[in-house]
Structure 1
Amino acid sequence: MTADLQMDVRDARLGDPYAASEETRLAGLEQILRTVPHVMEILTTVRNLALPDAWLVSGGIYQTVWNVLTNRPLLHGIKDFDIIYFDGTDLSYEAEDDVIGKVNQALPDLASLLEVRNQARVHLWYESRFGRPYRPLDCAMDSLTTYASRTHSVAARLNEDGRLMLHAPFGLANLFGMRLVPNYTQPNPETYAEKAARMKALWPELTVIPWDSD
């Protein structure tokens, strides 16, 4: 997909699931990401490192979009840029730590903002950290279905030919509409509430759909 035509990414119709097509929203997201130098630097570096099934996901994408939509500084509110990959051949912490070191070394100016995780081993530590089990994943994109909010479930990667690949299993209307919507795949109301409070403080324009609204 290539965003050849410039569009008004602040057009309210992009946030209405019935007023614009998902293809239009994908083009709008690509347009935004390609204009943000540090996002493109991350995507280019991850591609060049040839990590298996590697993507930039979640906050570094949706919060970048919200900053563009609300005319805020591009790094406003962004705690980290989540880089995920999937390597089932070595589930050791040492192997993951080696990849973390390689990514940080390749992006020294952004290293303090990067969080790199092998999605093939999340189930090994998740329960001890969060107090509930987590099923083994099949691939990196499988993780997007487990995020606390459907709005957070968005990923991007740069292909060798320069194409930007985007994945959003729940669509992008909530992202452009600045709506935080629960994802009930994981019983995660506490995490959702915590994230919602933080984001509402940073982006007051955000509409938060309560966890128990359905």
Structure 2
Amino acid sequence: MIGRLPLDEQLDALRAVLSRNDVLTQVLARTATLGLPGWYLTAGCLFQTVWNVVTDRPPGQGIKDYDVFYFDDRDLSWEAEDAVIKAGREVFAGLPAEVEIRNEARVHLWYETKFGVPCPPYASSEAAIDSFAATTCCLGVRLEGDGRWRVYAPHGLSDVFNLVVRPNPVLAPRAVYEAKSARWHARWPELTVLDWP
């Protein structure tokens, strides 16, 4: 079982599994051309690809979108972020998936309106990934200039490979965790969903 392997072998397995999702590898390669500061491909497209492969489903099945985070606190205007989003539309044109690009330096400006709780300003893309509703989601991957994969996984990879959804009560409200985990469990009934503490 991959989730019981040493971490270095889990990293190799993660790359092998994610590489089976052709859309994901295209998003990684194309995002690398945008030159975004502190960027990661993150969230559902990563752990859901793993869940699909581990449960013998097609790698990209059921993946709604591909999330790209970057961090640029030099200009917090919507116009600056929108310019990046528009550049991304051109770069991702022709891909059979929606790619959402977000500047994590701006999240605190809109988070409370959307989720009902305030969000302190993030200091990095990693800090934003740390605040996902489930620790299983706290995962980011990017391509470095030398083609090497940089993986950010503050809670490790065992839960991802072992199909465990664990709450992360750092920021997101309980209702967000419960709604997301119920949706995931309906699609991947093999998941073990742990209760909110």
TM-score, with structure 1 as normaliser: 0.88
Partner of 1:21: 6
Q: Counterpart of 2:50?
A: 65
Judge conservation of contact 1:25–1:172 (CA < 8 Å) in 2. yes
1:97 equivalent in alignment to 2:88? no
Kindly indicate whether residue 24 of structure 2 is the aligned counterpart of residue 39 of structure 1: yes
Structure 1 CA distance for aligned equivalents of residues 9 and 168 of structure 2: 24
Aligned match of 1:177: 162
CA 1:75–1:111: 2 relative to 1, 3 Å: closer
CA distance in 1 between partners of 2:181 and 2:19 (Å): 27
The range that moved more, 25-34 or 103-112, is 103-112
2:136 counterpart (148, 151, 158): 151
One of 94, 102, 105 as aligned partner of 1:120: 105
Q: Which amino acid aligns with 1:24?
A: E
Structure 1: which amino acid aligns with 2:64? K
Do the aligned residues in 2 keep the contact of 1:104 with 1:110 (CA within 8 Å)?
Answer: no
Task: Tell me what 2:192 maps to.
Answer: 207
* SS in structure 1 at match of 2:33: helix
| Amino acid in the other structure paired with 1:35 | R
Counterpart of 2:82 in structure 1: which amino acid? D
The alpha-carbon deviation at position 105 of structure 1 amounts to: 1.0
Deviates most, 49-58 or 183-192: 183-192
- C-alpha deviation, 1:187, in angstroms: 5.1
What SS does the aligned partner of 1:211 have? coil
- C-alpha deviation, 1:185, in angstroms: 1.2
RMSD, aligned α-carbons: 1.3
Change (3 A) 1:125 1:111: farther
Distance 1:119 1:97 in 2: 13
| 1:182-210 C-alpha deviation (Å, 9 max, x unpaired) | 00212521000000110001001111001
Once residues 37 and 102 of structure 1 are traced to their aligned partners in structure 2, the CA distance between those partners, rounded to angstroms, is: 21
Are 2:68 and 1:83 aligned? yes
Structure 2 unaligned blocks of 5 or more: none
Give the Å deviation of 1:61: 0.4
TM-score normalised by L of structure 2:
0.96
Deviations 1:131-157 (A, max 9, x none): 111011111111111100000000000
Q: Is contact 1:105-1:111 (8 Å) kept?
A: no
User: What amino acid is aligned across from residue 11 of structure 2 in structure 1?
Assistant: L
1: CA distance, partners of 2:21 / 2:27:
10
- 1:76 shift after superposition: 1.6
Q: 2:93 aligns with which of 105, 108, 120?
A: 108
Q: Could you say which residue in structure 2 is the equivalent of 1:8?
A: none
* Residue identity opposite 2:174 in structure 1: P
